[in-house]
Structure 1
């Protein structure tokens, strides 16, 4: 109890010292404030940027393997010209995959898209829209939340009926006065009926994935509007096949192995032939993003640490001045029986309090910045970053205050009392 009481008394002495030199206290903590602001701001921006990009990639779905001509991550040792010679996936291959794949999947879909389209409804129109054709299982392999209306029926997909599920931006522009469900609009000379409206996503850093300007129609209807490319170079949009894995196969190793064997069989590849297709998984992109932002975070932390280092030197300098000014008081305290740890904690707590106040101020500034409305990149400061800022502040306080505090604790009381 005595130790706790003395520790609390040291803390009270430290606060009294800070209050008695208010101007110096404010000037001292500015360096720490700037340093913590720099570090936490960098980490907050990096976290928000990574979260935004990952959110933008949600359209790719979870536990999904894509059959494509191009890989998500290029192999530096693979001859680049061989990628160009690969054929693109076709509807025939999609149908064969549906028949030949075993029970390791929850859905197989084929889809293709064409951008830069203008949609019209009466006197209203909206440009730069994406027309996307999809098979029935597209909802299983991709994130496509329908807010109003419904999804396609299997009969609508098989019969290639002129129905569409549109994004929120398209609905707002084509039908500004009411519900879009059941209304008709024209796209590339075809009249389509709205059966569903997707949830509004808003702006994203990677806007190519936003559903707001997407119009999804049955794949058969899409092929009536566009001629699919057989090479992947011009001549029309190219198709992609996606297969959704089961939860029982978390690594998708069984599904990937089965898909590779089935695709090689469909394309008539011999055992020694190289794959002429790519099996892509969104985790490849996520892993690359994680590594990239890990490096950016380290670089940002190093840059921000220079600012906090300057603040630490400032705190240490002020603490040395504080010890010199209060040498006489230290001598009196020690002559009255004050223990060395009491004097040590008194000055150490003062340094920590200075840094904590500066750190809280820096974190508060970052929080105020996150309140500024941002459409493309909303900033969010996590609790982990707040805790990190406080821990850094305490660490800097200990480092900056330990030497001055130790010098004060080891002063000879007789010599200290005589100091002027």
Structure 2
């Protein structure tokens, strides 16, 4: 109990010392304030930008592997051998059927293809920027299709390729203008399609990536009647197969191994031949983005680090001055029985208080940055960055205050009392 009381007294002495020298306190914490502001502002902008970009890639799905003709990224050597990829066959419907019937490590599988800038008509109204998307059985499992009104396709509609469609929010607003679209007939490439459902509004993404707001989804077999989606190397329109794994398949290792093995057998590749297909993962793009933003974060630390370094030297200098000014008081406290740790904590707390106040001021300056309109970029000061800012401030206070505090704690009480 006595120890706790002495620690509390150390807090009180430190706070009184800070209040008695307001101008010196303000000047001391300016360096830390600027440093924390620079670091946390840069980290906040970088984190927000990274999050917005990754959110823009949500249309690719999660825990999904795509069977593609073209890889998303270059190989390990950094080379993108397009001349090899060009002649690869596109994923075919027969391959999709083989995978759907035989794979054990998938929780959802679909074949899909899309074509942009399509015209969808209803009566005298039309929209010419719709994206027509053809999907099979597991399309709503592999991708997030939030049906707001109506329903999703039935297995019979998928198998027979009936002319039914789900339409996005912007298509609903453009064509129906307040009418209930369910059961209405729209025209796509002069063919009639019955609207069986509408998709919940998603809004515009930061990168302007595909959104279901402008999408009309139809059964894949119906899509094939409108566009050629064969497996030849020279086809303009390519199909893709998306396979979703299970959550307990860490890194989708089992899914990828099974998928690669079945495709190689299906395409008759010998053990010495290279894959003539790509197994793409959305996280490959996310990892590239993450690497870029790691570099930007490092730049923020370097920029802010110089300010904090200057501020730290300033605080250390002020603490040495404070020890010098209060040497007689230290001698008096020691002669009355104050322990070394009491003196140590007194000055250490003062340094930490200085840095924490500076850090909090820096964080308060970052908050207005999050209120500046930046178009579709949403800037958010995260709890993680707030804790980081306060943690760095505390660490600077401990580092800059420990030597002056230790010198004060080791002063000889007699010599300290004689000091003037």
| Common fold by TM > 0.5 | yes
Structure 2 residue 212 is the aligned partner of structure 1 residue 226? no
Change (3 A) 1:209 1:398: same
Q: Deviations over 1:309-350 (max 9, x none)?
A: 222122223223333333444344444444433332222111
| Partners of 1:363 and 1:328 in 2: CA distance | 37
Structure 2 residue 189 is the aligned partner of structure 1 residue 188? yes
Change (3 A) 1:313 1:50: same
CA RMSD of aligned residues (A): 2.9
- In terms of mean alpha carbon deviation, does 131-140 or 253-262 score higher? 253-262
Structure 2 residue 21 is the aligned partner of structure 1 residue 21? yes
Change (3 A) 1:405 1:169: same
Residue 348 of structure 2 is matched in structure 1 by: 348
Change (3 A) 1:352 1:253: closer
| Partners of 2:128 and 2:415 in 1: CA distance | 85
Q: What aligned pairs does 1:103-142 form with structure 2 within 5 A after superposition?
A: 103-142=104-143
Residue 258 of structure 1 is matched in structure 2 by: 258
Change (3 A) 1:396 1:249: closer
Change (3 A) 1:130 1:311: farther
SS of the aligned residue for 1:279 comes to strand
> What is the Cα deviation at residue 183 of structure 1?
3.4
> What is the Cα deviation at residue 293 of structure 1?
3.9
Residue 32 of structure 1 is matched in structure 2 by: 32
Q: Deviations over 1:370-395 (max 9, x none)?
A: 34555533233333322222221111
| Partners of 1:174 and 1:321 in 2: CA distance | 75
Residue 275 of structure 1 is matched in structure 2 by: 275
Q: What aligned pairs does 1:169-188 form with structure 2 within 5 A after superposition?
A: 169-188=170-189
Residue 160 of structure 2 is matched in structure 1 by: 159
What TM-score do you get using the length of structure 1 for normalisation? 0.87
SS of the aligned residue for 1:182 comes to coil
Number of residue pairs matched by the alignment? 418
Change (3 A) 1:38 1:118: farther
- In terms of mean alpha carbon deviation, does 159-168 or 122-131 score higher? 122-131
| Partners of 1:308 and 1:325 in 2: CA distance | 25
Q: Which runs of 5+ in 2 are unaligned?
A: none
| Partners of 1:334 and 1:361 in 2: CA distance | 35
SS of the aligned residue for 2:120 comes to strand
Change (3 A) 1:251 1:22: closer
| Partners of 2:121 and 2:323 in 1: CA distance | 78
Does structure 1 retain, via aligned residues, the 8 Å contact 2:34–2:304?
Answer: no
Residue 285 of structure 2 is matched in structure 1 by: 285
Q: What aligned pairs does 1:11-410 form with structure 2 within 5 A after superposition?
A: 11-77=11-77, 79-99=81-101, 101-228=102-229, 236-247=236-247, 249-372=249-372, 376-410=376-410
| Partners of 1:330 and 1:178 in 2: CA distance | 82
Q: Which runs of 5+ in 1 are unaligned?
A: none
Change (3 A) 1:345 1:250: closer
Change (3 A) 1:217 1:339: same
